[in-house]
Chain A
Amino acid sequence: MLKRIDAALEEVRKPVSTANGLPNVFYTEAATFAEEREAVLFANWSAIGFASDIAGPGEAMPIDFAGMPLLAVRDREGTVRVFQNTCRHRGMILIEEKRTITGAIRCPYHSWSYALDGELRATPHVGGPGHNMHDDICREALGLIEIRSHIWRDVIFVNVSGNAPDFEIYAADLIERWREFDQPLFFGGADSAFQLEVDCNWKLAVENYCESYHLPWVHPGLNSYSRLEDHYHIEAPGLYSGQGTHVYRPMIDESGSRFADFAGLHSRWESAAEYIALYPNVLFGVHRDHAYAIILQPVSHERTIEHVAIYYASADMLAGDRAELRAANSGMWKAVFEEDIFVVEGMQRGRHGVRFDGGRFSPVMDGPTHLFHAWVADQFVAAGHGA
């Protein structure tokens, strides 16, 4: 089996014109998902949540990241940290639901308690009833396990292995590409966030997002003003891929009002927009007047939750008089993303066709999707497959 996978990975890593896609087991087998968790999701900078979801001091949010329990916490100085959501004593889950911590994180089992910076502050009865210390229990060595994290464009990224380059290096190319958009983002709030639960492997959502080939077939409404030939590929091998359009038009309400633009953008953004998958699991979109991020939460090898958040260029766009326009914008994107569900779920079911060979790519239209497949294959090779 391993030799078959190794051989298939080499097929994936060929140029797009002759490559095959990743083999079925990458979508249909829990064992491969477990390997992928280490080689792809934990070894790189993966997205786990939005910083705006823990906006206030002391807010703490448990996150299941491919089965690993994490806890994102904002301390009273505003710093966000990510910890393993596991008590250092008996391994109990510390926080079950999002809430505000006013003091310490107290384990509900034996009440070992941690400060928001992870320091172990109390070990009640650890030396016997009413004796809260013991020579063999060194609190300094038993703080919460912190997971390396970084926030970019409101997305909380983690590198579980701790071995990836610093995020600024890992994502340097995309950070530079979108340098103009490196300005404050204003999260639209409850009317600008939604989730979609889909019965597919998380990679299928990336693959579908990367390419414009499907737009006229799956999103005929978009195609009415954004034709296939108006799109271009975005290809950064080993880093990210996606698509751009030359014909973006801002949404305008009945009174002629629209969202404010981000400041100082080059004139090309008047009608351009870009949609990029930063590997492994976050999908970004930027437009002159709004941006969004979609975090793909891999629940299992056949289930994914898509977390969508939409952002605007100024605080004024969050006012009540813009609520209708924000809702319309959210509704438009939700409708587009929902149109993709039958595709990603259909590909998931199709992957159970045991004689499917991973598929052939269009040498012209599927470049960005192939780059993602090749990157995943590269991660497996780096983890010891093939070669």
Chain B
Amino acid sequence: MGRGSIDAALLDAHARHDHAALVSLYAQAADMFEESGEEDAACFYLTHAYVFALEQGLPQQAGLHARLCAKGRDRPRDGQGIGSAAPSYPWARRPHHLPW
């Protein structure tokens, strides 16, 4: 999916209040910018993916948060994530990529 397609899909997901789709789409956008070396843009989209995952209690929140922490854009927190069955913060083991 290209940038234009992701933008359109994001607008559509926002219009439908489909926050699960927003997590996936923002994460894809983050990956795209990360690959092209645009770190600030990547972290912007990563932040949005993380916040919508946190809001919904999705298991992706841990990995997204770990990526932000690894980039120095957020800070680790003791304890559990929110809502998911057995969340963990795997930044020590997988500081960069997230195969979710």
Contact = CB atoms under 8 A, between A and B. Distances in A.
Interface of A: 58, 76, 102-104, 106, 111, 113, 115-116, 121-122, 124-125, 129-133
Interface of B: 39-44, 46-48, 50-58, 61, 68, 73-75, 77, 82-84
Main secondary structure, interface of B, reads: helix
A5 B25 CA distance: 63
Nearest to A111: B51
Contacts of B43: 129-131
Contacts of A133: 73-75
A131 B75 CA distance: 10
Nearest to B30: A130
B73 A131 contact: yes
B56 A130 contact: no
B27 to A, nearest CB: 14
Contact of A122 (B50, B58, B83): B50
Contact of A130 (B44, B53, B77, B82): B44
Q: Among A116, A124, A129, A130, which residue has the most Cβ atoms of chain B within 10 A?
A: A130
Contacts of A125: 44, 47
Contact of B83 (A103, A124, A131): A103
A103 B74 contact: no
Contact of B56 (A102, A111, A122): A102
Contacts of A132: 47, 68, 73-74
A125 B61 CA distance: 17
A159 B41 CA distance: 46
B77 to A, nearest CB: 7
Given A103-B82, A106-B55, A121 B77 contact: yes
Of all A-B residue pairs in the complex, the 9 with the closest CB atoms, nearest first, are A130-B43, A103-B57, A103-B83, A106-B55, A130-B44, A102-B57, A132-B74, A103-B82, A103-B56
Interface centre among B42, B46, B51, B73 (most CB of A within 10 A): B51
Contacts of B58: 103
5 contacts: A104-B83, A113-B55, A130-B73, A133-B74, A133-B75
B37 to A, nearest CB: 14
Contact of A103 (B61, B68, B75): B61
A121 B65 CA distance: 11
Contacts of A121: 54, 77, 82
A113 B83 contact: no
A58 B51 CA distance: 17
A106 B54 contact: yes
A124 B48 contact: yes
Nearest to B43: A130
Nearest to A103: B57
Contacts of A106: 51-52, 54-55
Contacts of B41: 130
B55 A104 contact: yes
A322 to B, nearest CB: 36
Nearest to A123: B74
B54 A103 contact: yes
Contacts of B57: 102-104
A133 B42 CA distance: 16
A345 B11 CA distance: 50
Contacts of B82: 103-104, 115-116, 121
Contacts of B74: 122, 132-133
